Amino acid sequence: MVELLPSILSADFAHLADQIAAAERGGGTTIHVDVMDGHFVPNMTLGPPVVASIRKATRLPLDCHLMIDNPNEYIAAFAEAGANWLSVHYEACPHLHRSLELILHHGMKPGVVLNPATRVDLLVDILPMVHHVLIMSVNPGFGGQEFIPFSLHKIRRLAELRAELGLDFRIEVDGGVAHDTVAAIVQAGAELLVAGNAVFGAGQPERDARALLAAAREAEDQMTVSKVAGGKSKIH
Ligand code: DX5
Ligand code: ZN
- Give the H or E element holding residue 76: helix 75-81
Ligand 1 contact via 87 beta carbon (within 6 Å) = no
pLDDT for residue 77: 99
What number of other Cβ atoms are within 10 A of residue 230's Cβ?
A: 9
Distance of CA 198 to the CA centre of its chain: 14
Amino acid at 101: E
Contact in structure between 77 and 86 (CB atoms under 8 Å): no
Average pLDDT over residues 142-155: 98
pLDDT value, residue 236: 37
Residue 232 scores a pLDDT above 80: no
Number of domains in the chain: 1
CA atoms within 13 Å, Cβ hemisphere of 130: 26
Say what the pLDDT of residue 225 is.
Answer: 86
Atom of ligand 1 nearest to the CA of 199: 12
Query: How many percent of the chain have pLDDT more than 70?
Result: 97
CATH of the domain at 49: 3.20.20.70
The residue segments making up the domain with residue 129 are 3-235
Judge whether 126 and 97 are in contact, CB under 8 Å: yes
First-last CA distance in the chain: 29
Question: pTM of the entire structure?
Answer: 0.96
The residue whose CA has the least distance to atom 10 of ligand 1 is 143
Half-sphere exposure of 85 (CA within 13 A, CB side): 26
How high is the mean pLDDT of the chain?
Answer: 96
Ligand 2: distance of its center to the CA of 157 in Å?
21
In angstroms, what is the span from residue 63 Cα to ligand 2's centroid? Answer: 9
**Helix, strand or coil for residue 85?**
strand
Nearest-atom number in ligand 1 for the CA of 65 is 7
User: Which residues are tagged catalytic?
Assistant: 34, 174
182 CA distance to ligand 2 centroid (A)?
Answer: 16
Closest ligand 1 atom to residue 10 Cα is 9
Give the chain's length.
236
Degrees to nearest 5, angle at CA 90 with 87 and 95: 95
